[in-house]
A = this chain, B = another copy of it.
Amino acid sequence: MKKTARGKNAAPPCPINAALLMLGDRWTLLIVRNLLFARATGFNEIQRAGEGMATNILTDRLAKLIEMGAVEKRPDEHDGRKWIYSLTEKGFDLAPILLELSRWGVKYQKGVAPDGVLEAYAADAKKFLASLRA
């Protein structure tokens, strides 16, 4: 981190900045999206969901997500050489950020959210978020 004009300790820490620093670039959130909405669980599934992503990027960002406690992995019981990835509570709690990005994207950019997702979220956010964890 470079020092800024104000000096690094001038302002109290901002949770928005803390979250953005933790999340890093867009790939981190796209991996969470794939785990959450595409129900991807394996490395290859996560990689191929949505736009797809380069192997080295997925490897790096998955490691960061595990390090920050948003994703956990366990061995695939059907194939001991593979891992199954899943969101922790901290990872599921990123869902509202993704849903608001989706809402803004649908309104102002391009793209279509999965059928009914934004409607269900708008109608009853708590209920919809609980259903994602199910």
Assuming the A-B contacts A6-B51, A14-B51, A33-B16, are A22 and B93 also in contact, with contact meaning beta carbons closer than 8 angstroms in the complex?
Answer: no
Q: Is A20 an interface residue (CB 8 A)?
A: yes
Q: Looking across the interface, which residue of chain B has its beta carbon closest to that of A57? A: B4
The answer to whether B93 and A13 touch across the interface, beta carbons within 8 angstroms, is no
Copies in the complex: 2
How far is A95 from B109 in the complex, measured between Cα atoms in Å? 16
Which B residues lie within 8 Å of A50 (CB)?
Answer: 11, 14, 17
Question: Which of A59-67, A76-84, A96-104 is the contact stretch?
Answer: A96-104
The answer to whether B15 and A112 touch across the interface, beta carbons within 8 angstroms, is yes
| Residues in chain A within 8 A of chain B (CB atoms) | 2, 4-8, 10-22, 25-26, 29-30, 33, 47-48, 50-55, 69, 90, 93-94, 96-98, 100-113
